[in-house]
Each structure stands twice: as C-alpha cells, then as structure tokens.
Amino acid sequence: MTPFKIEFLDHVAIRVTDLEVSSKWYSKVLGLKKHKMKKWGDFPIFLLSGKTGIALFPKSKESSQFPSDSKKDKIDHFAFNVTKENFIKARKRYEELGLDFDIQDHHYFHSMYTKDPDGYTVELTTIVVQEEDFYV
C-alpha cells in the first residue's frame, strides 16, 4: 500500500511516423480532441478525452529527443475505458469507417482492438460485471 492513490491514466506517449496523419486518425476514430501546447513547439501533440489521452511524438531521429532505434517505442497496447453504451457506438463507428477490429470477452470486461496508422494496438474496454467485482 502506498500513501497516495492514482486517480486515472493521464496519457500514453507514443512515437508516430506522421504527426498529422496520426492526429487526424485519433480524432476521427476515437473522437479525441487535439491540444497543441504553443510553448512546446510542434510536439508533442496531445489528443484528449476529458483528462486522459495520448501524446504524439515524431518517430524520426532528426525531430525527436529519442534516437530512431530507441527501445522506447515498444508498447504492446493501450486501452481507453468506455461505457457499455459507448462500446456499442464505437463498434458501429469502426464498422462505418471500415476498420479491422477484434472483440474479445475477458469475462469481467469486453474489449475491442484495432490498429492505428503506425500499427499500435488501441483497445476500448468496458466492464460487464459489477465494478466492485473487478476493481479494488
């Protein structure tokens, strides 16, 4: 036990091939709102829903603080939590957009997986049991 409590996942930082293409994809597919911080320059680009989201950084060596062979881009996947109602709406949206996606039943929650333009796996997840049966 720690003397503090995590409130929520603030953001996941990912390195992408094309900042504009990825920014548009996350806005179009997930409805995330783009926030550029003027004092930071061209990147990162934050895409948020409420207080959570992603930060996009360029993958190229020339424009990033990380070398192009950095191990820092090894992310298995990241997930956004949605309500059951919004899970159904997201599935319909993915179908309308012609996205390839997979739905899995994880007993306590259902997850829908798709890939972004750089091949990162993006998960939407919704709890299907009483929250107290899963969350501590």
Higher-pLDDT residue of 90, 36: 90
Structure letter (DSSP) for residue 132: G
More confident call, 41 vs 31 = 31
Centre a 10 Å sphere on the Cβ of residue 13 and count the other Cβ atoms it contains.
13
> Where is average pLDDT lowest: 6-10, 18-22, 81-85, 111-115?
6-10
Domains, the chain, with CATH or none? 11-60+77-133 (3.10.180.10)
d(C-alpha 25, C-alpha 32), whole Å: 9
Question: Worst-scoring range by mean pLDDT, 21-25, 57-61, 116-120, 131-135?
Answer: 131-135
- Average pLDDT of span 129-136: 74
- Which of 62, 60, 126, 65 minimizes the C-alpha distance to 90? 126
The pLDDT score that the predictor gives to residue 72 is 56
**Per-residue pLDDT at 74 exceeds 70:** no
Q: Above 70 in pLDDT, residue 61?
A: no
pTM, rounded to two decimals: 0.77
Q: Which distant-in-sequence residues (6+ apart) come within 8 Å of 18 by Cβ?
A: 117
List % helix, strand, coil for the chain (3-state, nearest 5): 25, 35, 40
